[in-house]
Amino acid sequence: MAAYKNDYTKEEDLALWTLHEIRHKMASRALRSEAINKSAKELIRKRGLNLKVLKSSRKALVESVSR
Is residue 39 in some structural domain? yes
Q: Which domain holds residue 48?
A: 14-65
pLDDT, average across residues 1-30? 79
Q: Is the pLDDT of residue 67 over 60?
A: no
Assign 2 to helix, strand or coil.
coil
Mean pLDDT of the chain: 77
- End-to-end CA separation in angstroms for the chain: 39
pTM of the entire predicted model: 0.44
| pLDDT of 61 | 59
Q: What is the pLDDT of residues 33-47, one digit of tens each?
A: 788 888 888 888 898
**Total domains present in the chain:** 1
Which is more confident, 22 or 59?
A: 22
What would you measure as the largest C-alpha separation in the chain, in angstroms? 41
